[in-house]
Structure 1
Amino acid sequence: MASHKNPGTQLTSAQGTHQSGTSSQTQTGNPELEARKRALNEVFGLLKLSFHNQFNSAFPDMQTLNHAKRLWLESLSGFTPEQLVAGAKRAIKQSEYLPTIHKMLQFCAEGEHGLPDPRAAYREACNAPSPKANHSWSHRAVYHAGRAADWFFLANNPESSAYPVFASHYKKICERLMAGESLPAPKQVQLEHQAAKPLSKAENAKKLAELRAHLKI
């Protein structure tokens, strides 16, 4: 007699295709996809053991659990099976709470890309000496996020105003990295022997006003 497995314990090919055909990733016969499904089942097993009460509260029944697994499978599609499991283990070590998909993206990315968390990245961007391109960055994403947020803006505004702007740019850049994009290295600046003339108070105020208008803050 054939055994009957609990449908909520594993992601199967049938479960993967029980959708409205939104993604080709759920097609059967894909060894890479099947490996990621097995890894995600392992991830959910690890999270259940480590965050038992939170896990049962978040996924109180099989239908909710299966929907969550399909959503995680799609949302974490940029990572290998090994990165998924490593991300779960990192979450268990570093967090007191059951990770959301957003946090799992960060935990998985930390191992693969060496990305610092947003707050640490912000502090590095603010504290890095000029010229910024010549700084030894923990990750290129920090430099590119700081450049996108505007160095002058970061240096002349309190953290309460500057951090959200930086974090928004950093999040987008991290998402591009997770999607497989490569970031160019900062172009090294040839240091001048003669120091640049500092801006006057009026020039600083004008530049800050223009930047605020551009960022609509």
Structure 2
Amino acid sequence: MRPADEIARRVAEQGALPTLPENRQQVRLSQHDLDLVNRLFADLKAICPAWRREWPDAAAMAIAKQQWTKTLVESGVSSVEQVEHGKRVCRARTGREAAFVPSPGEFAGWCWPEPQELGLPPLEEAYREALRNSHPASIGHERWSHKAVYHATLACSRHSLMTLPGDTSRLKFTKHYRAVQKQLLNGVVLADPPPANQKALPRLGDPAKARSALAAMRASLGGAAQ
């Protein structure tokens, strides 16, 4: 086993976290990633007095950094703003558990603010709005409560929202709604939806126009046959 000081040195100097036995592929981190994780762990040590129970030595802390980094990446957490939100939630805890370090998965969940905190409609409400505005009868008459809902709907595609099974459709919308939330957290200014009379979302073929074109085609073919 490698000495603890060697592991700590590699984390500090090379930006490479040690590999675990079940995963021999080394995780390479940018300097930004490394600084973000190191600052997070330093703050967690200040927030959670009982941190030594989870990280008793440098080797345990280095391995924990690898696991936390994987969890944050897999959860879509990569910005300073998201991590700061997670730390605020961690500081706000009360009771006995407040002294202990949260699990990586729990902390990753704290990094995502509720939509309402950003002035957005709740997820389920936004999803129902996306479905309603994706229905063919609504095209050209959409009403958007927030442009974030419009952009998440556009990213999903109206066809997917209307044709995928309910659970799959909801998961897809959730993914894109979170992506838009992350943009807002990073200071991105979203474009306004186009006016309703410009048909904000692509529309499928109009059945009435299709019937009219088919009738005209038949008439033309009938005249040619005479």
TM tier, shorter chain?
Answer: 0.3 to 0.5
Name the TM-score, length of structure 1 as normaliser: 0.48
Greater C-alpha radius of gyration: 2
Question: How high is the TM-score relative to the length of structure 2?
Answer: 0.46
